[in-house]
Amino acid sequence: CHLIHYLRLSHHLTVLNYLIWTFDKLKSVSSEDIKITDAVFDGVEVRVFEPPGKRDERLKRSVVYIHGGGWALASARTSLYNNLCRIMAESLNAVIISVEYRLVPEVCFPEQFHDALRATKHFLQPDVLAEYSVDPSRIAVSGDSAGGNLAAAVCQQLSKDERLTIRPKLQALIYPVLQAFDFNTPSYQQNMNMPVLPRYVMINYWIDYFNGNYDLAHSLLINNHTALDVGQALSFRGRLNWTSLLPSSFKKNYKPVVQTTGKAEIIKEIPALLDVRAVPLLAENETLQLQPKTYILTCENDVLRDDGVMYAKRLENAGVEVTLDHFDDCFHGCMIFTIWPTDFSAGIQTRNSYIKWLDENL
């Protein structure tokens, strides 16, 4: 993929998505009991999963789901996410709205955020909820990885929109990516070379999302963009101090990496590095206080573990009810790997725990 990119034949992410789709055609997922339709919500494609209606049944609960893939890969239509949303619809007897936001390299930040926000706000309209027989008081916004990032950002934006009459009851974030401020948290140091999502890959996803230059990767890796002399980052430092936000069991013996002098020009070139629509963990306390009851799933073998744990702590400090569901033996992305030949016990375990929480709280 990178060779094709280097030869300027195509973007490597476009090629990788093509390979994902080619492999995906080999898979078949049954959906006998769930009605699956494609729709467009305010210009954004979505896939809707509806369980069969029952006579005299009350309104259904619902989940708006935003898929992961580094803002660049996968789709609501791939078998992995199709299977997850179908099982959610069956298990919860709920209407699932899976958002098909546009991807890198077609678009970059903030377009993915705008797509997810527009689709969610459209669904929250009373007439749309009535069309799908959804209870306005029982709606969750959820997502995994980059989708968890978008779900958190969407919930923050919705909470500040005074024009809305209906807001989510819950948010459920699965190993979410929430910050690009510090690439040397304990989980980034511990899992820097972990398969599925090594640190350098996550940094490259951020660069792609922001349409930045790969030449900045090393400076980001050593936190040059948030050094002590970078004035733009100063006001955010207290919102992401892992030495106070993480429990000792996660901090272990790792030390903070804080540069005295860095490169302020990085923030000037990529101001989105400090934009809360892209990095929800940097939101102010006044916004966090408005967030709905929250579920955050984290995995020990994941560079993003501490993003989720720190967000859970900040939300808790702001007075939000939070469930932090941590798995010591699981890895990033595991929850969607439940179909042969990637049917892992870690996937079943995390998916069941996630759905159980939704069932008990939604």
Question: What is the set of active-site residues?
Answer: 145, 302, 332
Do 240 and 282 touch, CB atoms closer than 8 A?
Answer: yes
Nearest to 130 by CA among 166, 102, 168, 160: 166
Task: Say which DSSP state 37 is in.
Answer: E
Between CA 356 and CA 362 the distance in angstroms is: 10
Per the DSSP assignment, residues forming a β-bridge with 298 are 326
Q: In 3D, which of 335, 58, 4 has the Cα closest to residue 174?
A: 335
Over 205-271, what HEC string results? HHHHHCCCCHHHHHHHHCCHHHCCCCHHHHCCHHHHCHHHHCCHHHHCCCCCCCCCCCCHHHHHHCH
Q: Which two tokens stand for residue 49?
A: 């999963």
